[in-house]
Amino acid sequence: MMDWRTVNLANWESRVPVHTAADGYDLRAFDDPAHLSDVVRYDVPRLGDIAGLDVVHLQCHIGTDTVSLSRLGTRSTLGYDFSPSALRAARDLASGAGAAVDFVEGDLYDAVEVLGAGRFDLVYTGIGALCWLPSIRRWADVVAGLLRPGGRLFIREYHPMLWSLSDPRDDHLLVVEFPYFEADGVVFVEETSYAGSAPVTAPQFVCFNHGLGEIFTALTAAGMSVTYLQEHREVSDNALGEAMIPSPDHPGEFVLAEGPERLPLTYTLQAVKTPD
């Protein structure tokens, strides 16, 4: 199999200057101390009160959601990612926003060794994270290892059904083309990213899907109890081109143009680490 880590790291390194450009992420909005990213603002009703908690944001990229979490009154907030360029941008953002956020570089599967076991009350994983990981069981073990007993996982993620779909078709049919369950990664080549207009210099990447049942089973095997699951009609970026339109109800989100009820696009899952 292709060296997924090397390929994906090059891809994400090349996305950083695109995402931090003027037409990429809206970084200047963070000059307003009350500003939250669209992703975190969408999550807040389900995330609940996280004031006073020690929070780690896995696969944090350039830190927009991480800084937003810190503005919800956390005791400490830490962003973790494998991209050095993304973390430099994240630190610049946090510094400019006056946010007390730490950022640490490392591979996802090494997070417990790098950050320390049982250190956090909340593990937050933002949208578009799990598809970059080949093993959902190893991810679940990392989540459980980072949490204190009684600590919580919060994840909003692309629905595995969305990841299984082909590109938009002229007949508007939703057609399954790619694996729903965990399998060898699928190689894609995309010259642009989901934010910004400039081309990425390393357009190849490898993605992995994970079925909802596989995610449940992995978390349970790691000593977690799933306490919440909600499927959503919205997604935070336009994943299907002309088949999607901006959501009339949620700023920054998109829905299917031919009927939002046709397919879940994302889901929110929460799980609690079983006390010893």
Per-residue three-class SS string for 168-206: CCCCCCCCECCCCCCCCCEEEECCCCCCCCCCCCCCEEE
In this structure, what token pair is assigned to residue 78?
């830490």
Q: Give the per-residue pLDDT at 258.
A: 82
pLDDT in tens, 204-262: 999 999 999 999 999 999 999 999 999 999 999 888 888 889 999 888 899 998 887 88
Give the N- to C-terminal CA distance of the chain in Å, as an integer.
38
Q: Give the per-residue pLDDT at 22.
A: 93
Please list the residues that pair with 152 across neighbouring strands.
122, 272
Nearest-angstrom CA–CA distance, 85 and 83: 6
Q: Give the per-residue pLDDT at 262.
A: 83
In this structure, what token pair is assigned to residue 28?
């200047």
Q: Give the per-residue pLDDT at 240.
A: 86
Nearest-angstrom CA–CA distance, 215 and 142: 13
Please list the residues that pair with 186 across neighbouring strands.
207
In this structure, what token pair is assigned to residue 225?
């109890």
Show the low-confidence residues of the chain (pLDDT under 70).
Answer: 1
Q: Give the per-residue pLDDT at 252.
A: 86
Q: Give the per-residue pLDDT at 1.
A: 59
Strands 54-58 and 76-81: parallel
Burial of 167 (0-12, 13-18, 19+ CB in 10 A): exposed
Q: What is the pTM of this model?
A: 0.95
